[in-house]
Amino acid sequence: MNWRTRLLDPAPRARRDFASLTTPVYRGSTVLFDDQTAVKDDWRQAQNGYSYGLYGTPTALELAHRIADLEGARETLIVPGGQAAIALIYLSYCTAGSHALVPYSAYGPNKAIAEGLMRGLNVEVEAYDPMIGASIADLIRDNTCLIWCESPGSVTMEIQDVPAIVEQAHAKDVAVALDNTYSAGVMFDAFAYGVDVSMQALTKYIGGHSDLLLGAVSARNAAALTKLGSIYQQLGLAVSPDDCSLALRGLQTLAVRLDALESATLEIANWLARHPHVGDVFHPALPSCPGHKIWKRDFTGSTSIFSFMFKDNISEDQVITFINSLKVFKIGMSWGGVNSLAIIYPDLQRPDKEFSGCIVRLNIGLEQPNDLIDDLSQAIEHSTQ
């Protein structure tokens, strides 16, 4: 053959028996088949073999299998981000004319999908009190197809009675989905409590270094997986093998990072709870957090994110001054990484409490807790002078 043709021959030249501690980064869109009769286009690559890079290379499937093992799932699908995970679940379970329920403390983009995309598709998504527990039964209709849970809730950190909600939902043949990002899939055992689909933003704790965007959708059983899989295929939710490789690396240090983050976060939350200028501290391990007793019953630990409010005599402008006075804490919207972050939620809406721009969310990173406490102390002093 001409040397130009030989350049394009994909047959390997080097030995392929290299044993490594890490999963290789497999990049590729096209999958080669032995003969025409073997050609297929099937998202079920874990069972039926590789068919197309769109559904994941071995790097993505390795990540998916490891997360499924961690969560006790039947199978996990890797998607481009947490918001993509939420959209996949909505589109898999909801059809025109159906009804779904979402807690009013859910992640903002979840509610945005409910009010935007789903409403446009003639799906009614009704907000409910996250503390409703078994009384969720009163909101379930004949056309209810999905109930979302998120525990703790976004920003205000309400702990939901997920087992009670699952019991009432399953009694009426309604699926329950859980945003389990706070728990990294390990602090709350979603499938032990009967949740049908659990998702998390791998961007947060499993990535762990604020340098990737990925999501995971895990199915409890074959029925849930089938429901998700066909929509997953149709949406073309391709992920980068390079990002999957970073997430696989993050998994190796997840345990030690979570231990360090829990310890530091508890120390800082308790310090804030004692501070004379601070009112409520919304950390699941503290009695001031809504649903604290449920957290003690159902969770095996806490992680790095919590919120607090200054007392009523501290103005919105003073809270902004506090944020702008922080030096070690950075101003940023995400969480779960190694750097500590702080941000105000000025437009937070909850039907049962007025937060009026005075609630601050902190993500505690891997800096030394004393340095973080000193930073909070000087910022509070500067803003209250």
Which string of DSSP letters, residue by residue, matches 132-148? -GGGGGGG--TTEEEEE
Asked if residue 85 lies in contact with residue 218, where contact means CB atoms within 8 angstroms, the answer is no
- Residue 146 and residue 153 in contact, taking contact as beta carbons nearer than 8 Å: no
**Out of 12-16, 188-192, 205-209, 352-356, which region has the weakest mean confidence (pLDDT)?**
352-356
State the burial class of residue 356 (Cβ atoms within 10 Å of its Cβ: 0-12, 13-18, 19+).
middle
For 30, how many CA atoms within 13 A lie in the half-sphere containing its CB?
3
Pick the CATH number of 19-248 from 3.10.150.10, 3.10.20.30, 3.30.1390.20, 3.40.640.10: 3.40.640.10
| C-beta separation of 233 from 90 below 8 A | no
The CATH number that domain 253-384 falls under is: 3.90.1150.10
In whole angstroms, give the CA distance from residue 135 to residue 18. Answer: 57
User: What is the band of 323 on the pLDDT scale with cuts at 50, 70, 90?
Assistant: very high
Using left for φ > 0, alpha for ψ between -120 and 50, and beta otherwise, residue 219 falls in: beta
Kindly state the tokens that stand for 366: 């891997």
The Cα 327–Cα 379 span in angstroms is 8
Any idea which residue has 């073997």 for tokens?
38
CA 295 to CA 193: how far, in whole Å? 13
* pLDDT for the residue 354: 80
Instruction: Identify whether the C-beta of residue 252 lies closer than 8 Å to the C-beta of residue 180.
Output: no
Nearby residues of 325 by Cβ (< 8 Å), 6 or more positions away: 378, 379, 382, 383
* The pLDDT of residue 109 is above 80: yes
Q: Mean pLDDT over residues 194-218, rounded? A: 98
Query: 347 falls in which pLDDT band (50, 70, 90)?
Result: confident
Spell out where 42-194 has E strands: 75-79, 99-103, 124-128, 144-150, 175-179
Instruction: For residues 88-95, give the mean pLDDT.
Output: 98
Q: pLDDT at position 276, please? A: 96
> b/e per residue, 47-78, with b = 16+ CB within 10 A?
eeebbbbebbbbbbbbbbebbbebbebebbbb
Q: Work out the pLDDT band at 356, boundaries 50, 70, 90.
A: confident
pLDDT at 172 over 90: yes
Mean pLDDT lowest among 8-12, 221-225, 372-376: 8-12
- Residue 263 pLDDT class (50, 70, 90 cuts): very high
**Cα 289 to Cα 316: distance, rounded to the nearest angstrom:** 22
- Average pLDDT for residues 258-283, to the nearest whole number? 97
For the chain, first and last CA: distance in Å?
Answer: 81
**pLDDT (0 to 100) of residue 358:** 85
Find out whether 282 and 290 touch, Cβ atoms under 8 Å.
yes
Residue 357 has pLDDT above 90, yes or no: no
Specify the pTM: 0.95
3-state SS class at 312: coil
Nearest to 242 by CA among 274, 217, 270, 207: 207
Confidence grade of residue 259 (pLDDT, cut at 50, 70, 90): very high
What stretch of H or E contains 331?
A: strand 330-331
Question: Which pLDDT belongs to residue 2?
Answer: 94
- State the average pLDDT over residues 92-117: 97
The pLDDT confidence band at residue 3, using thresholds 50, 70 and 90, is very high
CA distance 28 to 33: 14
The predicted model gives 217-246 an average pLDDT of: 97
User: Tokens at residue 378, please?
Assistant: 């000087």
Mean pLDDT of 150-169: 97
pLDDT in the model for residue 42:
93
**Portions of the chain given CATH number 3.90.1150.10:** 253-384
Number of neighbouring beta carbons within 10 Å of residue 89: 28
The CATH 3.40.640.10 portion of the chain extends over 19-248
What whole-number distance in Å separates Cα of residue 252 and Cα of residue 116? 38
Residue 182 has pLDDT above 90, yes or no: yes
Q: How many CB atoms lie within 10 A of CB 309?
A: 20
Longest dimension (CA), the chain: 83
Residue type, 83: Q
pLDDT (0 to 100) of residue 321: 97
Residue 351 has pLDDT above 90, yes or no: no
Average pLDDT, the chain: 96
**351-357 long-range Cβ contacts below 8 angstroms, 24+ apart:** 351/104, 351/129, 352/129, 353/156, 355/156, 355/309, 356/316, 357/316, 357/319
For 42, phi and psi rounded to 5 degrees? -140, 125
